[in-house]
Amino acid sequence: MSRDSNGNKKPRISKISNSGSNTAKPRAQKSTRPRPERSEESKEPKAAKAPREPRLMSQSEAKSYDKSFERTAKPAGKRIGKSFGAAGKFVKGETKSRTTKLFKNYERPVDENEKTRNFVQKRRFDKLAKEVPKETIRLNKYIANSGICSRREADELITQGLVQVNGTVVTEMGYQVQKTDKVIFDGQGITPEKPVYILLNKPKGYISTTKDEKARKTVMDLVANASPYRVFPVGRLDRSTTGVILLTNDGHMTKKLTHPSFNMKKIYHVTLDRKLDRADLNAIAEGIRLEEGVAEVDSISYIEGKPKNEVGIEIHIGWNRVVRRIFGRLGYEVELLDRVMFAGLTKKNIKRGHWRILSELEVNNLKMM
């Protein structure tokens, strides 16, 4: 440290270079000299460059290019972020693109009544499937399954000697019966199968038989999965006739519904090739004579709101093709024939070619006829 002439210390002054000074230099003023104007040659647009010829990539370069593109490609139709869920809440995560909802196929709303009917039919079918008999079965259960009585009552019938198996009276409790055995009670043969009653809305082109020699379609093809037991059609409908038909394994019920003495009524919707005259309608109501005799008609009338060539006819006779023959005798041709009611059963809520199992109330009504 330096001292002055009197011996006092002098303060040390640091030298600051001009480069490190914080003082800003004054900004240079712009030149006011006018810019030289561009020549006409410079104003002309530049000539376009010739297009570059495409260069073909080698096979190794093409493979590496494809791989890099696959790594960078993102899946289409999805986005990551927040979206609204089905309940209207804000949900995080992946959501489908809105376009998938816009172009989604329209689905017809399901009728609640139809869902209920399908559920009831499924329960009835499952109940029948569980009751399929085994190879051998106890005699009292065999009798109870036939619907005659309960197991306890069947034991009493067996001890009284009222049951025969293959022509021999059996009084042994717990006796095992096979499917091939013939069981007789009160002079009538019985089967262990629980009676099944299936109502079918028959479409056109099906025959009302169990088998056909010409391999044509039968009603059995439509009810193949309706019951674990073998069923048979009650009565017949022509191949071209549509409408309600009953199928069952109950032989007593089949005999009752088809025998003429029981007078089971049937209603048909008839469509003719031309208008039915009032005189011919009255003649049919009085009775038309056919080969078997006079075809008695319970009632016949025009259908309200329909043309005069459509009529409804109610009969109880079961002659072969009787409705077509009645109108054919008067010179009419039946174009469409649809049975809308049989023994009090209608095809309501049954689509063409579909079936349903009768309820207990409907079965009881048939037994009371």
- Is 197-260+347-368 a domain of CATH 3.30.70.580? yes
User: Which residue do the tokens 């609204």 mark?
Assistant: 84
In this predicted structure, what is the pLDDT of residue 68? 54
- Tell me what the mean pLDDT of segment 120-149 comes to: 71
Mean of the pLDDT values across residues 64-93? 51
The answer to whether the beta carbons of residues 237 and 202 sit under 8 Å apart is yes
pLDDT over 70 at 77, yes or no: no
Q: Does residue 238 have an active-site annotation?
A: yes
Burial string for 259-290 (b: 16+ CB within 10 Å, else e) reads eeeeebebbbbbebeeebeeebbeebeeebeb
Domain ranges of the chain: 134-190, 197-260+347-368, 265-342
Distance between CA 334 and CA 219 in Å, rounded?
22
- Please choose, from the candidates 160, 343, 316, 153, the residue with its C-alpha nearest in 3D space to the C-alpha of residue 247: 343
Distances (CA, A) of 51 to 46, 48, 54, 55, 344: 15, 9, 9, 12, 89
φ/ψ bin of 308: left (φ > 0), alpha (ψ from -120 to 50), beta (otherwise)? alpha
Alpha-carbon gap, residue 12 to 41, rounded angstroms = 67
What value does the CA radius of gyration of the chain take, rounded to a whole number of Å? 47
Least confident range from 60-64, 138-142, 198-202: namely: 60-64
Distance CA 31, CA 19 (A): 26
Mean pLDDT value across residues 295-321? 93
User: Which candidate, 260, 255, 251, 238, places its Cα nearest to that of 339?
Assistant: 238
Residue 16's pLDDT is: 46
Residue 217 predicted with pLDDT over 80: yes
Element (H, E) at 245: strand 242-248
Contact 300, 311 (CB under 8 A): yes
Q: Report whether pLDDT(101) > 80.
A: no
Q: Report the C-alpha gap between 246 and 235 in whole angstroms.
A: 8
Residue 45 CB neighbour total at 10 angstroms:
5
Helix (H, G, I), strand (E, B) or coil at 71: helix
Beta strands 334-342 and 242-248 are parallel
pLDDT value of position 181: 86
Instruction: Please report, for residues 133, 154, 155, the alpha-carbon distance to residue 174 in angstroms, rounded to integers and kept in the order given.
Output: 16, 11, 9
327: which residues sit within 8 A by CB, 6+ positions away? 270, 272, 284, 333, 334
Q: What percent of the chain has pLDDT over 90?
A: 33
The more confidently predicted of residues 326 and 127 is 326
Looking at residues 339-368, what average pLDDT do you find? 92
Superfamily for the 134-190 domain: RNA-binding S4 domain (3.10.290.10)
pLDDT at residue 104 in the model: 47
131: its two tokens: 């009751």
Q: Which CATH superfamily is domain 265-342 in?
A: Pseudouridine synthase (3.30.2350.10)
Q: What is the mean pLDDT of the chain?
A: 77
Q: Per residue in 267-279, pLDDT tens?
A: 999 999 999 999 9
Catalytically annotated residue among 181, 238, 280, 298: 238
Strongest mean pLDDT among 32-41, 121-130, 142-151, 281-290:
281-290
The CB-side HSE value for 5 (13 A sphere, CA atoms) comes to 0
Is 241 strand, coil or helix?
coil
User: What average pLDDT does the segment 328-339 reach?
Assistant: 95
pLDDT beyond 90 at 281: yes
